Amino acid sequence: MESAWSLISPCIPYLVSFLALFLLLEQISYLKKKQFLPGPKLVFPFIGNAISLVKNPTEFWEMQSSYAKSTPIGISANYIIGRYILYIYSTDLSHKIFANVRPDAFHLVGHPFGKKLFGEHNLIYMFGQKHKDLRRRIAPNFTSRALQTYTNIQQRIILNHLKSWCQKTGNESSGSIPLRILCRDMNLETSQTVFVGPYLSSVARERFNIDYNYFNVGLMKLPIDLPGFAFRNARLAVERLGETLAGCVEESEKKMKNGEEPSCLIDFWMQEHLRELSETSNNPFELTYKEIGGHLFDFLFASQDASTSSLLWAVAFLDSHPEVLERVREEVAKYWAPESDTMIAAEQLREMKYTEAVTREVVRIRAPATMVPHTAGVDFRLTENYVIPKGTIVFPSVFDSSFQGFTEPERFDPDRFMEERQEDRVYKKNFLAFGAGSHQCVGQRYAINHLMLFIAMFATLIDFERDRTDGCDEIAYVPTIVPKDDCRIFLSQRCSRFPSF
């Protein structure tokens, strides 16, 4: 033991010197990339500010926004887990990033460590013609005919959950219930049923829900891919989810080959896929079941937590703006009577202009996915004076753009989206909740319909009131943004009876 120490001890000063030099060079590299941009002047070695990001993401991103707003350029810098990052406050610069998603510029990553979670070949990582071809083949999944099928599914599920919420609040001693997990469960059932409805057994759904929870938890943790860590659990869960969805794709293709009518999104996809195969003889666009399953997971991820966020903020803003709630109820009553036991038809939904305006204002003022991470594939000149270094993770802030341009942007004002004012057209570039450029959300009409249906049915069928506490409306990241109190409300049945459909 003593002889071993005698061999090691002379090396210790050199090891310490090497470590000190490494840390110094890392700090110099950060400052060189940062240049004149606002941001912390000193960062912890390697981990940077990852601990503060994980511990309090709201505070972390608010600080980055404050840094960016403090300078006319509208950018701030930081350092996380060995990666230099930029936060983009400026709407114009965000558009410049969205418009330059290509191999020799920016790569959409969806999450700072998304490729480890989602795999290399999913829709968000595609470029060029292959990406265009895939989006063209996805488009039939969101035609008017398909959307009508989905709205019927959505309404049945929303109704069943509203009934269970009323029952639950009657059983709670406090009388109030937090909506976040309830909305999340409702959305997960909706997504599963709309996307792959008849192909998930009850056992598969239960396993699916467990794996999706692993995935959700892992999104907010450090990317430590070792046994026992949340990130490893999330990555393995995504693999299992993809395999489950691949099996659904195979079952759907068999059903569509038999000429049956589509009953969910994957049916519409497979129906169109088979039609194209029958009409094309020269190298038709082919995807494996596993690849399509991966794209279905993209849809699930995009629709699940973002939608949960919007539903919660819709309830919060309707509660704090009773005049808006009353106008929604009056408009819905013109087109839908729950006592008739009929669903809201697609044509009726399109006529609910004010309800749609409320929906869009909720999405604007509380954009659920506040940032859209990209990686710089090359050194990219963003402004005349600043070049983004290759490898930088860039965060265009959709949230901050929503408060630029619009009249009194901090005010919840659905009328801005009505025909008389048309702020959605005048300030279109600032409404980035569904992204922009080649990767703009392909399912945004579906998302708007879902939120509209929920608002219409919730306002009509339910009486509710927030269980207000200090700070209940502060923003929490989970990973999309939600009210800090998980939107705790008192609720009761408003209608004489729930519809039956």
Same-domain status, 111 and 194: no
Q: What is the pLDDT of residues 463-474, one digit of tens each?
A: 999 999 999 999
Same-domain status, 319 and 291: yes
For the residues 423-445, what does the mean pLDDT come to?
89
Contacts of 7 (CB under 8 A, 6+ apart): none
Specify the pTM: 0.88
Q: Give Cα 434 to chain centroid, integer Å.
A: 9
Q: Residue 409: helix, strand or coil by DSSP?
A: coil
Same-domain status, 485 and 375: no
Same-domain status, 94 and 146: no
- pLDDT above 60 for 285: no
Same-domain status, 94 and 200: no
Task: Give the total number of structural domains in the chain.
Answer: 2
Contacts of 376 (CB under 8 A, 6+ apart): 105, 106, 388, 389, 390, 391, 392, 394
- Residue 166 assigned to a binding site: no
* Among the ranges given (11-25, 290-304, 356-370), the one the predictor scored with the smallest mean pLDDT: 11-25
Asked if the structure places residue 462 within a domain, the reply is yes
Same-domain status, 378 and 283: no
Asked if the structure places residue 414 within a domain, the reply is no
Give the pLDDT of residue 247: 93
For the residues 128-147, what does the mean pLDDT come to?
86
The CATH number assigned to the domain holding 100 equals 3.30.43.20
Asked if the structure places residue 325 within a domain, the reply is yes
- pLDDT above 70 for 11: no
Domain interval for residue 376 = 1-120+370-401
Asked if the structure places residue 420 within a domain, the reply is no
User: For residues 422 and 404, what is the distance between their CA atoms, to the nearest angstrom?
Assistant: 16
- Band (pLDDT 50/70/90 cuts) for residue 234 is confident
Same-domain status, 3 and 88: yes
- pLDDT above 60 for 58: yes
What DSSP designation does 42 have? Answer: -
User: Which of 401, 420, 450 lies at the terminal end of a domain, its last residue?
Assistant: 401
Asked if the structure places residue 64 within a domain, the reply is yes
- Band (pLDDT 50/70/90 cuts) for residue 112 is low
The per-residue pLDDT of the chain, averaged, comes to 88
Q: Which residue has the tokens 């997990």?
A: 181
- Band (pLDDT 50/70/90 cuts) for residue 23 is low
User: For residues 60 and 69, what is the distance between their CA atoms, to the nearest angstrom?
Assistant: 14
Same-domain status, 156 and 62: no
Q: What is the pLDDT of residues 326-340, one digit of tens each?
A: 999 999 999 999 988
For the residues 423-442, what does the mean pLDDT come to?
89
Give the pLDDT of residue 286: 72
The CATH number assigned to the domain holding 203 equals 1.10.630.10
Asked if the structure places residue 426 within a domain, the reply is no
